[in-house]
Amino acid sequence: MKFLLSIIIGLLTTLSFSQNDSIFIRSIYNTALSEGKAYEDLRSLCKDIGARITGSAEAEMAIEWGKRRMESYGFDKVYLQEIRVPHWERGTKEAGWIRMKNGSLVKVNLLALGGSTGTSGRMESEVIGFSSLQELKDAPKSMVEGRIVFINQKMNEQQIQTFKAYGGCYPVRGMGAVEASKKGAKAVIIRSLGMPIDEHPHTGTMHYEDSVTKIPAAAISTEDAELLEQILTNGSAEFILEMDCRDYPEVTSYNVIGELTGKNPDNIITFGGHLDSWDTGEGAHDDGAGIVHTLEALRILKELNYRPNNTLRLVFFMNEENGNRGGKGYAKWTKEQTNENHILALESDRGGFAPRGFSMDGTDAQIMMLASFAPIFKEYDLHIFEKGYGGVDISPLKHTFEGIPLVGFVPDSQRYFDFHHAPSDVFENVNKRELELGCAAIASILYLFDQNL
Ligand SMILES: [Zn+2]
């Protein structure tokens, strides 16, 4: 009986889609896989522009690049939305060594954390190691004062969803400098938030508190972290650090926006990724993939002469990495300057890997609608249609438009933290077919939401 019931429910869910939906989604996939432009677009963004941290010349060129690409695809509207953004630069000098007790030196691979102060020349001091942020918090001040703190907190490799392992270590990068400084440390060195043991350091955003002295903060590669741990287990060592990164005054920047106008033009479905990246590598997975996923999704819908019910608005957000000014500025602008009705937002910011599905931050009824799309995606190997996170850039919309569902594209996460914020996040590490499947999945779900919302 139960079996029969599940068949009936299955049939009913399947039947809620028309033959036309299936045919249209098939043509979306065919276009993405046989006539796709996403891989070439990503190559161009990575190689013709490169890493594009907020406030840099590359970020400005990326805005120009994005606007030109959107115009070349013939969207109904293409325009820029002005915002103010922070401007931090890594500078020219960035080096670190471990000096062992016998005086021998080991050069380490390191990156200043985004937003860190510099060292004002060479800084050196005895290094004191902790296995976690909590262990540092629990340590007496006398143990830390005047030293360089090393936090060797590892990402939990037993977590199947790597974003959860990342979340577990996020406070180390975010709050390490504040906690070390409270106890009188001169600087903080963290183990990179990366899953594999390799030579690549991973940068990322960090925080200071006004009442706490700002000390320099850097991440060393996981390989160097393992080595330093070993050295400290057997005795003492000094760390030598020089970085001349610093903050500059805020500058003007832009979100880049392209639209297919809907039959109900003021009903808006926002979707996109972030155009800025960290200043290392090429921002290929983070978030070049999200940029071309969503660009390609709109291009394909236009190519197939799709006339949307609601306005499909593609946004390339600026400054996700160190301020989210693009996301905040967009939400503020839509609320204060327009009379729009925002019905859904979607973001791709988890890399260009093989698609697994979509997660949604929304009500039970909204999540039920998402889950009802699952059968149509079965033949495309997508199976995650559930409650979860949307995305950083679209998150301010939640506070601006009550009840708006936020959707996050979910690709396979196993390799994302090999490359995240590291010099290895380059075009060559993105697979063409996996990228194209992501574009097709996003175009398809945008179509289904547009039809059903
Ligand atoms: Zn990102």
Q: Residue 7's pLDDT is what?
A: 53
b/e code 395-427 from CB counts within 10 Å (16+ = b): bbbbebbeebbbbbbbbebebbbbbbbbbbbbb
50: left (phi over 0), alpha (psi -120 to 50) or beta: left
Question: How much distance in Å is there from the Cα of 144 to the middle of ligand 1?
Answer: 34
202 neighbors 219 (Cβ within 8 angstroms): yes
Looking at the predicted structure, is the pLDDT value of residue 29 above 90? yes
Question: How much distance in Å is there from the Cα of 348 to the middle of ligand 1?
Answer: 8
Question: How much distance in Å is there from the Cα of 274 to the middle of ligand 1?
Answer: 7
Task: Collapse the DSSP code of 133 into the 3-class scheme (helix H, G, I; strand E, B; otherwise coil) and give the result.
Answer: helix
| Helix, strand counts (H, E) of the chain | 15, 16
Return the DSSP state at 353: S
Q: How many percent of the chain have pLDDT more than 70?
A: 96
**Band (17; pLDDT cuts 50, 70, 90):** confident
Q: State which amino acid sits at residue 112.
A: A
CATH 3.50.30.30 in the chain is located at 92-244
Question: How much distance in Å is there from the Cα of 231 to the middle of ligand 1?
Answer: 34
Task: Collapse the DSSP code of 243 into the 3-class scheme (helix H, G, I; strand E, B; otherwise coil) and give the result.
Answer: strand
Task: Collapse the DSSP code of 438 into the 3-class scheme (helix H, G, I; strand E, B; otherwise coil) and give the result.
Answer: helix
CB contact set of 43 (below 8 Å; sequence gap of 6+): 427
Question: How much distance in Å is there from the Cα of 287 to the middle of ligand 1?
Answer: 5
- Provide the 10 A C-beta neighbour count for residue 8: 10
Q: How many percent of the chain have pLDDT more than 90?
A: 95
Average pLDDT on 250-260 reads: 98
148 neighbors 108 (Cβ within 8 angstroms): no
Question: How much distance in Å is there from the Cα of 205 to the middle of ligand 1?
Answer: 11
pLDDT tens string 157-203? 999 999 999 999 999 999 999 999 999 999 999 999 999 999 999 99
Question: How much distance in Å is there from the Cα of 349 to the middle of ligand 1?
Answer: 5
Rg (C-alpha) for the chain, rounded Å, is: 23
Q: Residue 381's pLDDT is what?
A: 97
**Band (15; pLDDT cuts 50, 70, 90):** very low
- Provide the 10 A C-beta neighbour count for residue 48: 10
Question: How much distance in Å is there from the Cα of 59 to the middle of ligand 1?
Answer: 15
Q: What's the sign of the alpha-carbon dihedral 284, 286, 291, 296?
A: positive
- Provide the 10 A C-beta neighbour count for residue 62: 27
Average pLDDT on 72-83 reads: 98
CB contact set of 345 (below 8 Å; sequence gap of 6+): 269, 270, 271, 390, 391, 394, 397, 404, 405, 406, 407
Please classify residue 23 by burial: count the beta carbons closer than 10 Å to its beta carbon, then call 0-12 exposed, 13-18 middle and 19+ buried. exposed
Q: Which tokens in the block code for residue 85?
A: 């953004």
21 neighbors 443 (Cβ within 8 angstroms): no
296 counts as catalytic: no
- Residue (of 411, 310, 408) closest to 362 by Cα position: 408
- Residue (of 198, 94, 110) closest to 155 by Cα position: 198
Question: How much distance in Å is there from the Cα of 222 to the middle of ligand 1?
Answer: 21
State whether CATH 3.30.310.50 applies to domain 92-244.
Answer: no
**CA 315/CA 300 separation, integer angstroms:** 16
Q: State which amino acid sits at residue 432.
A: K
Task: Collapse the DSSP code of 346 into the 3-class scheme (helix H, G, I; strand E, B; otherwise coil) and give the result.
Answer: strand
Q: Residue 6's pLDDT is what?
A: 53
b/e code 191-226 from CB counts within 10 Å (16+ = b): bbbbbbeeebbbbbbbebeeeeeebbbbbbbbbbbe
Give me the architecture of the 15-88+249-452 domain, per CATH: 3-Layer(aba) Sandwich (3.40)
Return the DSSP state at 187: E
390 neighbors 406 (Cβ within 8 angstroms): yes
Helix (H) or strand (E) holding 86: strand 77-89
Question: How much distance in Å is there from the Cα of 173 to the middle of ligand 1?
Answer: 16
Q: Residue 19's pLDDT is what?
A: 87
Average pLDDT on 80-101 reads: 96
Q: Residue 16's pLDDT is what?
A: 59
Q: Residue 5's pLDDT is what?
A: 52
Looking at the predicted structure, is the pLDDT value of residue 14 above 70? no
- Please state at what angle helix 289-303 crosses helix 432-452, rounded to 10 degrees: 60
Cα-based torsion angle of the residue sequence 242, 247, 253, 256 in order, rounded to the nearest 10 degrees: 40
- Residue (of 308, 386, 374, 303) closest to 29 by Cα position: 303
Average pLDDT on 64-74 reads: 98
Q: Residue 18's pLDDT is what?
A: 85
Average pLDDT on 80-107 reads: 96
**Band (8; pLDDT cuts 50, 70, 90):** low
Helix (H) or strand (E) holding 177: helix 162-182
Question: How much distance in Å is there from the Cα of 247 to the middle of ligand 1?
Answer: 21
- Provide the 10 A C-beta neighbour count for residue 280: 21
Distances (CA, A) of 441 to 112, 238, 331, 444: 36, 51, 25, 5
Report the half-sphere exposure of 338 (CA within 13 A, side-chain side). 16
Question: How much distance in Å is there from the Cα of 421 to the middle of ligand 1?
Answer: 9
146: left (phi over 0), alpha (psi -120 to 50) or beta: left
Tell me the residue length of the chain: 453
Identify the active-site residue in 320, 321, 347, 436. 320
Question: How much distance in Å is there from the Cα of 369 to the middle of ligand 1?
Answer: 27
**CA 252/CA 203 separation, integer angstroms:** 24
